[in-house]
Structure 1
Amino acid sequence: MDPRKFSRQVAAYLTQLADLHDPGEFEAGIAGLADDGAKIALDPVLAAEKLKMLVEDNGGKVVSAADPARIPRATKN
């Protein structure tokens, strides 16, 4: 997440829930998880093929699973 897009208060709240990383670190982070043999769930309808290849090329396993936010997102839009 780009830290310029939210206030300090929002950043403080989010850091209690997750580790925040710069968008430029995304590919390296996924590759690092895959290097450790992680199983990574991807929605085959929404996830880019490049993401699937990144996981598999680094030794991880892709598990196909529907995005749990797909229906709420469709309802909102």
Structure 2
Amino acid sequence: MSISLLQELADKDFPVVVDGGDLVDAVHILAIAGHVEARIAKAVRTADGWMNPTATILKITRGGRRMLAMFPPRADGRRRLG
């Protein structure tokens, strides 16, 4: 999911806002790895557990661009794992 998200972000104008637990988690992973600069809202406690509301991706870093060069989008359009 994270590499696929990075590939999707490469075609976007920044900043990009994402919401939903899985997407916010993927942005968090990309930020920890140093592939993007992002602002991630604090998790919110709900009756059902914890929820990550939103993340704002400010830019893809130089390291993220290198990762995109190493893992270009697949020619068949399918997503890569991770």
> What TM-score, normalized to structure 2?
0.29
- Max radius of gyration: which structure? 1
More helix by share: 1
TM-score normalised by L of structure 1: 0.30
